Chain A
Amino acid sequence: MNNISMHILDIVQNSIRGEARNIGILIKENIEKNILIIGIKDNGIGMDSGLLEFVTDPFTTTRNTRKVGMGLPLLKHSAEQSNGYVKVVSEIGIGTQVHATFQYDHIDRPPLGDISGTIILLVAANPTIDFKYIHHINNKKYELDTQEIKLALGDIKISDPKIRRFLKEMITENLHEMCVV
């Protein structure tokens, strides 16, 4: 994984496979406190404590196509090499939360990567799932709620290439605006 966006794309796949209908993606860049926090929260089927205990073990997976599952272990690796940690909280029938922290200026912290492209990819490829994406940079905040977008679009599909491009630009511009002091 080259960047944090790829980790997010990967961890959200777990939520999708966990039958989530609502997925929250939180990114908090707190440069003053020198910390980057990633949070992914879903209302999927959840995990029991037995599975949860081994969830960051690469030889744990719920698939039957193969015996390894590298998503969370890789995230844990990236977080720990940047002086952070990963915490997973889950409850059967309620959902799962994955929380990862990174030291913002750590030399081994992966860059954020193409976050707007990642969000749009997830949103457009999973039209039946509602996503809420919240991105903080210091004390500024940007929020994108696909329920609002779907309401604004009416019967036009969110996966329409023109809409995708528009949304991607919208996110990029808003993030850029937050970076301008």
Chain B
Amino acid sequence: MAKIKTLADLKKMREDLQSKVDLREKADSPESYVQIKVGMATSGIASGAKDVMDFMIEALEKRNVEAVVTQTGDMGYCFAEPTIEVKKPGEDPIVFGYVNIQKADEIIEKYIKLGELVEGIIPVNYQVIDDK
């Protein structure tokens, strides 16, 4: 049986990652990457926000998109869960509703990579999550 991973392995991994991190630290203002917030309140969780978030993290890494995926509380759109907010560098944030994995894939390929708008945008008479 393979040995179970421990914190000591983590330290080893840290050395491998260190060199790459130096590059990234330089561009470490959050403004320089795509920021994605996944709504993670009861309604979001119940409708599958966790799977969407797991997918986005994996997919963005595989497709080499510099992005930070975090979670947030309720955005007030329980009817449209799971919802995500995407903020591209220098642009206003956009909230997408009814985001399943297929939709998340479309958002990455069309909106994040090419800048094309996709269906499912929740109109912007909303306030930014942080000022609620």
Contacts and interface: CB of A to CB of B under 8 A. Distances in A.
Partners in one complex: yes
Interface of A: 1, 6, 9-10, 13, 16-17, 63-66, 69-71, 74, 114, 117-118, 121, 125-126, 148-149, 152-156, 159-164, 166-167, 169-170, 173-174, 177
Contacts of B76: 65-66
Which 10 A-B pairs have CB atoms at the shortest separation, nearest pair first? A65-B76, A170-B5, A161-B61, A125-B71, A70-B42, A173-B4, A71-B42, A125-B70, A152-B10, A152-B7
Interface string B18-34: 10010001000000000
A6 B7 contact: no
Contacts of B68: 159
B54 A121 contact: yes
Contacts, number: 93
Contact of A17 (B13, B18, B43, B73): B73
Interface in B68-98: 68-71, 73-76, 78
13 contacts: A1-B46, A6-B46, A10-B42, A13-B40, A63-B74, A65-B74, A125-B70, A152-B14, A154-B14, A156-B14, A156-B18, A156-B21, A161-B57
Contact of B4 (A10, A126, A161, A174): A174
A23 to B, nearest CB: 14
Contacts of B54: 117, 121
B6 interface: yes
B13 A163 contact: yes
Contacts of A9: 40, 45, 50
B116 interface: no
Contacts of B50: 6, 9, 114, 117-118, 121
